[in-house]
Structure 1
Amino acid sequence: MAESAHRRVEEAMGTVFSFDVRGGEEAAVRAATDEAVALLHRVDEVFSTYREGSQVSRLARGELALADCDPEVAEVFALAAEAERISEGWFSARYAGRPDPTGIVKGWAVERAAELAAAAGATGVNLNGGGDVQLLGVPGPDRPWRVGVADPLHPRQLAAVISAAGAARLAVATSGTAERGRHIVDPRTGRPAETDLVSVTVVSPSLTWADCWATAAFAMGSKRAPDWLESVPETEALLITADDGVRYTKGLARRLG
C-alpha cells in the first residue's frame, strides 16, 4: 500500500521551502503544515535584517532591548552564543558590530517547522529550506531519506548522496560560494572569508547546528576545519576545495548512500 504524501512549496525568508510529509491523518498533517508555514513567515517578520520594522532591526538600532523582544529572539541569540563558543569564534551572530542572527535563524526555523509537521502524526518529514534539509522519520517502510549534495565545481553533478538510514532525525546543511558568491564573513576581520574552500556540507541530527557548523568551517578553511569538525559530537562533513580536492570526516562514510 502506498504511503500517503503531502507536498508543498512556499516562499519565505527570501528563499524557497519545500515540504514532503509522509503518513499521518491528512487533515491533521495539512493543518500542521499550515502552522509550519505560518511559523516561517513569522520568523521572517521578527528576525529579518532587511525589514526596517523587524525586532532584530530595531534591536540593532537600539530601539528595543533584548528583554523587550519576543522570547524566541533571546533563544536564538543564546544558541548563537553557544555556537560562537564551540566554534572558537568562527561563528558569530554579529555583523559590523550589530546583532545579526542570519547564520543561525534559518536552520533553527526549518528544524522547528519540521517538528510541527512530525507532531501531527507524520511518519516522515523532509523539509528543505534553500538547500538545507531537516529529515525526521522515514518516507516509507525500509526506505530512508536521501539527500543529494551538489558539486560546486561540476554543474549538474552530485558530490555525494547522504543517507539517513538508521537515523530518526538527520540534517544536511551546505555553506559555500556556488549560489551566493563570497558572502560568508570572517568574524575576525569583518570581511569575506579568505579560504581555499568552495563548499562545506555538514551532517548532524539538528539543522540549527549543522547550519552553524557549515558556516564556521567554511570560514576556517581546509587546514583548520577538518580537525575541528572531528571534535564536534554527532557531526560529519564533506569539504571541497577550489582545486577540486575532497576531504571527509572519518565517520561520514556510513552516511554515503
Structure 2
Amino acid sequence: MVEQAQGLHRVELIMGTAISIDLSGSIDSVRAAELADAAFAWFREVDARFSTYQDDSEVNRLQRGELSSADASPDLRHVLDECARLWRETDGYFDAYATGRLDPSGYVKGWSVQVASDRLTAAGAPDHCVNAGGDVRVCGRVAGQPWRIGIRHPFEPMQTCWVLAGTDLAVATSGNYERGFHVIDPLTGKPARALASVTVAGSDLGVADAYSTAAVAMGVKGIDWLARLEGYESAVVTEDGLAFRSEGLPVA
C-alpha cells in the first residue's frame, strides 16, 4: 500500500502482477503520459525476456540450450552475473536454480523496477513511485511530503505491520501469504516455511529483492543474517506471529 500522487497514476498487469506508476510534482501531463508509456513498455520487454512461462523467452531458450550466455542480451548477462554474485554473498541461499531450472525472478522484478525508477529520474520526473506487486521504489516527494509505504500484515490482508517513509528508498517484501510456500531452501530442496514475511529496505531494489528472498529461504537464521547487512534495513514476521525489525528501519 503506497500513498498515491496527485498527478499521474496508472496501473497495468504485467509479469503476472499489478504494476503501478505514480508521478508527482509539476511535470506536464503529456510528458508524464509519455514517461509512463515508456516505463510500461520496459516492463513488457522484461516480461518477454525473463518470463519462465513464455516458451520463447530468453531465459527459457537459455535453459533449453538454444541460446548461449555469450549470445544473450546485455540485460540477461547482467542478471546472470548479479545472480551469481548474490549467490556467493548469501552463502547459496539466493539461488536462481533453486527450483532445478533457471528462474531469476527473485532478482529480476526488483531490478526492473529499479531501472524504471532510474530512467524516470533521468528523464526529468524525480518525484515518483513505481510498485510491482509490493516491490516498491520511491523518489522525491508526494504533495510535499515523503512517500509512505505500508507493509502488509501476512495474516491480516487489510492491515499493515509497519508504514515506512522515504524520499529515496527501495522496499522489497517476500513471503508466503499470496503464493504459498514458493520460496525453496536450496540447501534442502524443500519449501521454506519459518518466515511468513521478510521486508528489506535500502538503495537498490534488485538487491533488496534478492536479500528478502534469501532470508525467507534461510528460515529463522535469516533474522540474524539480515541484522548484519550493511546499508539495508529489515523487518520480519515469523510463521508463528513474532515480529522483528532493525533499528534503522525508516518507520514513518
TM exceeds 0.5?
yes
Q: 1:46 aligns with which of 32, 44, 49?
A: 49
Determine the structure 2 residue equivalent to 1:177. Answer: 176
CA contact (8 A) 1:198 1:241 kept: yes
> C-alpha offsets along residues 24-44 of structure 1, whole Å, 9 cap, x if unaligned?
233332222111111100011
> How far has the Cα of 1:173 moved from its partner?
1.1
Determine the structure 2 residue equivalent to 1:16. Answer: 18
CA contact (8 A) 2:6 2:143 kept: no
CA contact (8 A) 1:132 1:173 kept: yes
> How far has the Cα of 1:242 moved from its partner?
1.9
> How far has the Cα of 1:4 moved from its partner?
5.9
CA contact (8 A) 2:99 2:184 kept: no
SS, match of residue 150 in structure 2 = strand
> C-alpha offsets along residues 197-242 of structure 1, whole Å, 9 cap, x if unaligned?
11111111111111111100111112x1122112222111111112
Matches within 5 A, 1:193-204: 193=192, 195-204=193-202
Determine the structure 2 residue equivalent to 1:128. Answer: 131
CA contact (8 A) 2:120 2:126 kept: no
Partners of 1:117 and 1:53 in 2: how far apart?
A: 29
Structure 2 portions without partners, runs of 5+: none
CA contact (8 A) 1:16 1:129 kept: yes
CA contact (8 A) 1:107 1:132 kept: yes
Amino acid in the other structure paired with 2:232: T
Matches within 5 A, 1:205-216: 205-216=203-214
Aligned residues between the structures: 247
Partners of 1:198 and 1:4 in 2: how far apart?
A: 34
Instruction: Call closer, same or farther: CA 1:121–1:4 in 2, change over 3 Å.
Output: farther
SS, match of residue 63 in structure 1 = coil
SS, match of residue 226 in structure 1 = helix
What is the TM-score with the length of structure 1 in the denominator?
0.91
Deviates more, 1:206-215 or 1:227-236: 227-236
Report % sequence identity: 42
> How far has the Cα of 1:187 moved from its partner?
1.2
Partners of 1:184 and 1:96 in 2: how far apart?
A: 9
Partners of 1:192 and 1:226 in 2: how far apart?
A: 17
- Answering whether residue 185 of structure 2 is matched by residue 186 of structure 1, we say yes
> How far has the Cα of 1:256 moved from its partner?
1.1
- Answering whether residue 120 of structure 2 is matched by residue 117 of structure 1, we say yes
Amino acid in the other structure paired with 1:145: W
- Aligned-residue Cα RMSD (Å) equals 1.5
- Answering whether residue 198 of structure 2 is matched by residue 226 of structure 1, we say no
Determine the structure 2 residue equivalent to 1:256. Answer: 251
- Answering whether residue 56 of structure 2 is matched by residue 59 of structure 1, we say no
Partners of 2:121 and 2:173 in 1: how far apart?
A: 24
- Answering whether residue 233 of structure 2 is matched by residue 236 of structure 1, we say yes
Amino acid in the other structure paired with 2:70: A
Determine the structure 1 residue equivalent to 2:159. Answer: 157
